[in-house]
Amino acid sequence: MTESAPARVLRLTAATLDVTTRELDPIEDLLAYADPAHPLAWLRRGDGMVGFGSAAMIEVGGHRANPPEGSQAAALAETWRAVAAAASVTDEVGLPGTGLIAFGALSFDPASAMASTLVVPQFVFGRRAGRSWVTTIHRAGAEAPINPSVRDWGPAWSATVGPGELDAPGYQAAVRAGLEAIAAGEVSKVVLARDLTGSVPAGADLRRLVRALATGYPDVWTYAVDGIIGASPETLVTVSGGTITARVLAGTAPRGADADGDTEASVALAASGKDQDEHRFAVESVLRTLRPHTSALTASEQPFALKLPNVWHLATDVEGIVAPGVSALDLVGVLHPTAAVAGTPTAAALKVIRRIEPFDRGRYAGPVGWIDASGDGEWAIALRSAQFGDGGHISAHAGAGIVLGSDPEAELLETRMKFRPIVDALA
């Protein structure tokens, strides 16, 4: 595995965690148990988990002036193993997401000013396969906290957003700079993003944003972790009982205005040489990275067109058997950043991104998900998202893969499509 950077364990020290999961009567509204100001959530098709409170936090990075050496994900994975090994766990349910878990959000770039974190909630409320549960997590020897009650929903709100550091003309200039880097032989592909910034009203119930995304995009991962909220169509990696699955997305087209136009858009995407090239780079990158850590790794021979409410994506599913002792977070460390969100070759693409983009991506396009005590978990790429900071400040990002033949105006239009889910939900 990749050499890791040092991690800090906050609000935990060497204390052992006591963890108890018990079954509940069916929970109708998981988000009713989340913190309105700091929601923790991982939802898809009505199932998932929400967290409340913080029993512990593990943090690495966040030192832009002097970035740590090594993989932040590897550091988190190493520390998580120690925390999990010391924990006392009673799990009466035994479903994915029960027992000891942590929600995680990692920065895109290890040089980011924003740290990568794992948050261990005091409470996790979950629902899966028709069963509901609550997990309570606290320090050994301490009195178990009382389950939080359902929290009333705050009033509806809307955000104000506008161009950030890279406006539309600036983004087209950035794409041209990316094409120059490709022509110079620096990279074969580079993914360049632009930003929107704005604010939300004081005291806004951020669960409303989570619910809007989960309702509007039920087939993707809706997440809220340590200040980043979004709905990602791209599974970075899932590990469950020794099996690994991943879904690679690269190549995008807008949905058609009617049924015939929609079919034409899907067919045109599948036939696009530019989009097929972009997709191939992404798939080859994932397969090459995963092979040393898996066996029987397979991928579909041809990409399929994945239909989302606002766009079509070229998609390829990958499946294999994970090597003994390898956790989901270990695989996050070797996979991130993928060619789908950085470019090819990865190290060179990161240098181009740092040179061209005038902002810190933070956790946009970084890994987001959860991990349990056995190392199983589900991780996506933090796309279609907004980051919430102090004073109600928000920033959102959307990007496009730049390859030979990319058109700056077309790439700008692609970012507008990708902004739609989060901008509509914020409105």
Which residues are annotated as catalytic? 189, 234
Q: Distance (Å, rounded) from C-alpha 260 to C-alpha 219?
A: 23
Determine the 3-state secondary structure of 131 from DSSP: strand
- SS3 percent helix, strand, coil of the chain, rounded to 5, is 30, 35, 35
Query: In whole angstroms, how far apart are CA 111 and each of 82, 190, 227?
Result: 26, 18, 19
Q: Distance (Å, rounded) from C-alpha 293 to C-alpha 336?
A: 14
Residues pairing with 238 in the sheet? 245, 378
Residues pairing with 51 in the sheet? 40, 124
Q: Distance (Å, rounded) from C-alpha 194 to C-alpha 396?
A: 8
Closest CA to 61 of 371, 362, 379, 373: 362
Q: Where are the alpha helices (DSSP H) in 185-272?
A: 207-216, 259-271
Closest CA to 116 of 64, 164, 81: 64
